[in-house]
Chains A and B, each alone.
Chain A
Amino acid sequence: MRGKATVVITLILACVVSLAAQVEHRDLKSGKKRIRLVVLAPIQVNLTKMSMKGAESMMDEARNMELPLTLEIEAAMQGLGYTLDVETLSHEALAKDSDQRYAVDDLQKKFDAELQLMHRKSKGVRKGRFSLGDEVAKLPLNDQVDALLFVRAHGQVLTENKKAFGTFVAGSRSDFAVMDFGLVDARTGDVLYFARSKMVASLVQDSEEVAAGIAGAFADLPKISPSTFGASSLPVRQDPPASTADASPTTAMESGKPAESMAPVSSSADVPESGLQARRLRLSHVVLKSMLIRQVAPKYPGIASSNFVHGDVVMRVVIDRNGEVAEVVVVSGPVQLIPAATSAVKQWRYRPFTAKGQIFEVETQIVITFKIGR
Chain B
Amino acid sequence: MMLTRAGRSCFVALGCRLLLGVILLGHLSLMGQSTNPQPAQKASDATTEFHSAASEPAKNSIPQVPPTNGSSSEPAKKGELGNNAQPFKFTKVDFELLKQADAFDIYIEERGWVYSDLETSEYLEKLGLSLVPVETPVNVKWRFRAIRDLEVNAFALPNGSIYVNSGLLSRMENEAQFAGVLAHEITHVVNRHSYLEYRSSRKKMVAIDIILTAARAADYVGVSPAITTAMGNLLPMIVVETVFGYSRELEHEADAYAVNTLHRRGYDLWEFARGLKLLRNGPEVDLVKEPVFWASHPKLTSRVRYIENMAAQLQPNATELLFNAGAYRAATVNIIRHNAELAMKLGRPRTALAIAKRLIAEEPNNAVNYVLLGDAYRNLGGRTPVPESEELTDEAMNATRERLHKMTVAEYDKALLADPHGAELWQANLDRSEEAFRKALDMDPRNATAHRGLGFLFERNDARAEAIAQFKKYLELAPNAKDARQIRMRVESMEQSSSGAKPQARESQTEGPARIQ
Contacts and interface: CB of A to CB of B under 8 A. Distances in A.
Interface of A: 2-3, 5-7, 9-10, 42, 46, 48, 50, 52-57, 59-60, 63, 91, 94-95, 98-99, 101-106, 108-110, 112-114, 116-117, 119, 121, 128-131, 133-135, 137-138, 154, 156, 165, 169-172, 176, 178, 187-190, 286
Interface in B97-116: 99-100, 103-104, 107, 110-113, 115-116
Contacts of A95: 110
A171 B10 contact: yes
Contacts of B107: 59, 63
A138 B510 contact: no
A114 B512 CA distance: 14
A65 B149 CA distance: 26
Interface SS of A by simple majority: helix
B510 A53 contact: no
Given A109-B224, A133-B511, A165-B37, A2 B5 contact: yes
B224 A116 contact: yes
Contacts of B329: none
A138 B517 contact: yes
A52 B37 contact: yes
B348 to A, nearest CB: 12
Closest 5 CB pairs of A and B: A170-B15, A101-B112, A105-B112, A137-B486, A54-B39
A95 to B, nearest CB: 8
B222 interface: yes
Interface in B468-517: 482-483, 485-486, 489-490, 509-511, 515, 517
B112 A102 contact: yes
Contact of A171 (B15, B148, B238, B510): B15
Given A128-B509, A137-B483, A176-B3, A105 B408 contact: no
Contacts of B13: 3, 6-7
Contacts of A108: 111, 226
30 contacts: A2-B5, A3-B9, A9-B6, A42-B111, A53-B34, A55-B4, A55-B40, A57-B100, A57-B233, A57-B234, A57-B236, A59-B104, A60-B103, A94-B112, A95-B110, A98-B112, A106-B345, A109-B224, A116-B219, A117-B406, A117-B408, A131-B410, A133-B510, A170-B14, A171-B7, A171-B10, A172-B6, A178-B2, A188-B510, A286-B110
Given A2-B5, A99-B482, A172-B10, 11 more contacts: A3-B12, A42-B110, A53-B34, A54-B39, A54-B208, A59-B104, A105-B113, A114-B408, A134-B486, A138-B483, A286-B110
Nearest to B225: A109
B497 to A, nearest CB: 13
Contacts of B406: 117, 121
A119 B219 CA distance: 12
A137 B511 CA distance: 13
B237 interface: yes
B204 interface: yes
Contact of B238 (A48, A57, A169): A57
Contacts of A59: 100, 103-104, 107, 234
Given A57-B100, A105-B111, A134 B482 contact: no
Given A91-B110, A135-B345, A189 B3 contact: no
A116 B113 CA distance: 21
A169 B205 CA distance: 20
A171 B233 contact: no
A59 B104 CA distance: 8
Interface string B59-78: 00000000000000000000
B40 A128 contact: no
Interface in B221-269: 222-224, 226, 229, 233-238
B302 interface: no
Contacts of A56: 237
Interface in B1-47: 1-7, 9-16, 18-19, 34-41
Contacts, number: 181
Contact of A134 (B117, B411, B511): B511
A94 B234 CA distance: 23
B485 A137 contact: yes
Contact of B37 (A2, A112, A133, A169): A169
B441 interface: no
A163 B15 CA distance: 15
Interface of B is mostly: helix
Contacts of A101: 111-112
Contacts of A7: 13
Contact of B3 (A54, A156, A286): A156
B517 A171 contact: no
A281 B1 CA distance: 32
Nearest to B222: A113
A60 B234 CA distance: 11
Determine which residue in B1, B34, B510 has the highest number of CB atoms from chain A within 10 A of its CB, and name it. B510
B234 A2 contact: no
Interface in B341-355: 342, 345-346
Interface string B446-471: 00000000000000000000000000
B409 interface: yes
Contact of A54 (B11, B112, B204, B489): B204
Given A104-B112, A112-B226, A172 B7 contact: yes
Contact of A135 (B4, B35, B517): B517
A128 B113 CA distance: 29
Contacts of B6: 2, 5-6, 9, 172
Given A3-B12, A178-B2, A135 B112 contact: no
Contact of B18 (A130, A169, A189): A169
B486 A138 contact: yes
A46 B234 contact: yes
Given A46-B233, A55-B236, A171-B38, A109 B346 contact: yes
A350 B511 CA distance: 47
Nearest to A57: B237
A172 B12 CA distance: 11
Contact of B485 (A117, A119, A138, A170): A138
A106 B409 CA distance: 14
A187 B99 CA distance: 41
Nearest to B347: A113
Contact of B36 (A42, A52, A114, A137): A52
A200 B235 CA distance: 25
Contact of B510 (A55, A165, A170, A189): A189
B2 A154 contact: yes
Most buried by B among A105, A113, A131: A113
Nearest to A171: B11
A15 to B, nearest CB: 18
Nearest to B486: A137
A101 B109 CA distance: 10
B41 A170 contact: yes
A113 B36 contact: no
Contact of A113 (B15, B204, B208, B224): B224
B228 to A, nearest CB: 11
Nearest to A98: B116
A339 B100 CA distance: 37
Contacts of B236: 55, 57
A146 B290 CA distance: 42
B194 interface: no
A170 B38 contact: yes
B148 A102 contact: yes
Nearest to A141: B485
B161 interface: no
A133 B410 contact: yes
